[in-house]
Chain A
Amino acid sequence: MQSQTISSYQTPSGQRVEILKQSFPSLRKRPVKRIAFVSGLHGNELEGVYICHLLTKHLSELQRTQPEAFQGEVHIYPTVNPQATAIGTRLWPFLSIDYNRQFGESDGHSLASKCAQELMHDLKSSADIVIDFHASNLHLKETPQIRITEGFHKKLIPFGVHCNIDLIWVHPPFPMFKSTLGYNMNQSKIPTLVIETGIALRINQNFSNRILLGMLNLLYQVGVIVTNNPPAPVNHPIIVQPSQVIQVHSKHAGLFIGHTDIKKNIAKGEVIGEVVDAKNGLTLQEVAAAEGGFLFTVREHPLVYPGALLGRIAKDIIT
């Protein structure tokens, strides 16, 4: 494994902050494919950082025991916003700006946007496929899924099906996504899968292990890793269109008490949770599934305002 600093800057106290890339080179002169894994754009999303750890551990062992398996190149960028990851905050520290809104056409002058440009440049020069790991925010827990902006789906779904995730959600191209790494890499014709899993500041080992398996399978399927022992079979995801996603919102302010976890085959009318008024002991809203299907997002943060998202159901999909 080779380590490289793709970007660095000096803090006010003189220390250097380095954004690292760990690379597993190909045995071939011309690698079959080059694949990059990115995590930590949001510093409080640790699931991807852990998956990168698992990948690095697995690939290091493979390199030691079967160096000939590396027919392509693998690049891992485990913490691309290292100061934010170090303190577990979503935003770029000191500036309080969202690093994943600095890509594409940016003002180009803030430190974060300069680092974003350097990351994009490095990815474009070293990868044919990119995987960008995200957890959810502090409010919601997500089943392992890939989110694809409409228009990129034909190119991305064939890769996504190998990733051992539960669901691929194809959504319309909202303006807010146009400043993200994923959108801009895809615009640059480098297929980039955005994996969303778990919740901020937590690691769900079950989800991480599943995605590790998916990533190893993807490496195998695209010919980057070729071994005599192919990875175990993976789960085939359901593919969901925007019209199939039902959002469940709170109608009141209060505390949301969840009664169920992420769940496949939730029945129409089944109780997801309740919104209660902490001051007077009243239940303000019994939150039930408006449709049967796959409850793939559930709220974890108990504090809710009216309009808060409590869950998402992929309807009419019986798995």
Chain B
Amino acid sequence: MKETILSIQSPLGPPIELVQFTWRGAQPKNTISIVSGIQGNHLNGIFLCSRLVRFLNSVESGKEPGYYLKGVIKIIPTTNSPAIQEGKHLWSFHDLDMNLAFPGNDQGEVPEQIAATICRQTKDSQFGIILQSGDTHYEDAPHLLCLNPDGLAKNFSRSLAIKNAREPKISSTFRLCLYDQWVDQMITSVILSAGKPNHLDIPLCETILPGLINSLVWSEVLGNDQKKSIKYQLKFNRQSNEQFVISHAGGFFMPTVKLGSEVTKGQKIGEIVDIHSNTILESILSSSSGYLVTLRNNPMVYQKEVLAILLGKPKFPFWPIK
């Protein structure tokens, strides 16, 4: 079912609307909420939601052999609809990062009203997934972010068929993001980050989609008569094992490594060249081995910026399979 859960009049144009899709099984026990589009230019998450909507509508009409609805599935694909329509990361009318607006305020400004509506609509969920792309100017290899996961959260994460999980950094603004609101409410939840802003990577999304469907089966909101959910292997990376590669000069960053690859100690990650003369200003070598989870996407770099993030080898490489 598609419904408009918030409609805010606009001074001159069409109203700002927040849309939610909901499916309900016969005797629902669990509820899962999937949210994307918190940043207006994170398109992969919005596309993945649209693929899930198509799939679940198909399940509902009996066209997906073996699958049936068990619990409640809520999908809110276009959270920051004003920014999405503007084609920007943030809605320029307020210049406010939507992910710093939670838990929101029903009586407040537009981003606060949206945030409050999202919190209200998702608060009764047992599970939650936030879909996002890499930060501005960066591309992420698919990975999860989850904070202090207990056994349930680890198993939920493993159902998503993503190979790496990281700990989110607890900053002073962390309290204002949706994920923290969910953690506070004991919703077993993860952030799934993949790709880069302003870009729709359909092949990447198609590789992520089966894992998302598997997680719905694992969390018992979706049933399947023919197969059980799969528990995949997942590397859990601690912050202390992450290596941030920093630029020491401003210029064009020309990477020589591929996102999602293993980089060895001493391997060349790229060069920074002068934007006028093309002379090499810095040759960047990796100081340790690791998996390249994030790579600078915008070639224009300032000095002191992050060029790449490597996930080092963890002491215990896999979460134990129970």
Contact = CB atoms under 8 A, between A and B. Distances in A.
B227 interface: no
Interface stretch (A99-107, A123-131, A141-149): A99-107
B306 to A, nearest CB: 5
A253 B304 contact: no
Nearest to A44: B95
A14 B173 contact: no
Contact of B302 (A109, A111, A254, A305): A111
A233 interface: no
A249 B301 contact: no
Contacts of A239: none
A12 B110 contact: no
B37 interface: no
Contacts of B303: 9-11, 111
Contacts of B300: 12
Contacts of B113: 307
Contact of A178 (B10, B172, B249): B172
Nearest to B247: A10
A304 B94 CA distance: 11
Nearest to B89: A96
B107 A249 contact: yes
B95 A254 contact: no
Q: In the complex, which range does the number of interface residues on chain A fall in?
A: 35 or more
A45 B5 CA distance: 36
Is chain A's binding surface mostly helix, strand, loop or mixed?
Answer: loop
Contacts of A98: 95, 97, 100
B100 A176 contact: yes
B109 interface: yes
Given A13-B275, A14-B251, A253-B9, A90 B95 contact: yes
A307 B11 CA distance: 12
B12 A278 contact: yes
B301 A305 contact: no
Interface in B94-115: 95, 97, 100, 107-110, 112-113
A262 B110 CA distance: 25
B179 interface: no
B95 A105 contact: no
A14 B302 contact: no
B8 A253 contact: yes
Contact of A179 (B11, B16, B172, B274): B172
B9 A305 contact: yes
Q: Which one of A9, A91, A305 has the highest number of Cβ atoms from chain B below 10 Å of its Cβ? A: A305
Interface of B: 8-12, 16, 89-90, 93, 95, 97, 100, 107-110, 112-113, 136-137, 169-173, 175-176, 244, 249-252, 274-276, 300-306
18 contacts: A11-B250, A14-B251, A94-B302, A96-B90, A98-B100, A101-B100, A105-B170, A105-B171, A110-B305, A114-B304, A175-B175, A176-B176, A253-B8, A255-B11, A305-B109, A306-B8, A307-B8, A309-B109
Interface of A: 9-14, 90-91, 94-98, 101, 103-111, 114, 137, 175-176, 178-179, 184, 249, 252-255, 278-279, 303-309
Given A106-B171, A110-B305, 13 more contacts: A9-B303, A12-B300, A95-B136, A96-B90, A98-B97, A106-B172, A111-B302, A278-B12, A279-B12, A303-B93, A305-B11, A305-B109, A306-B9
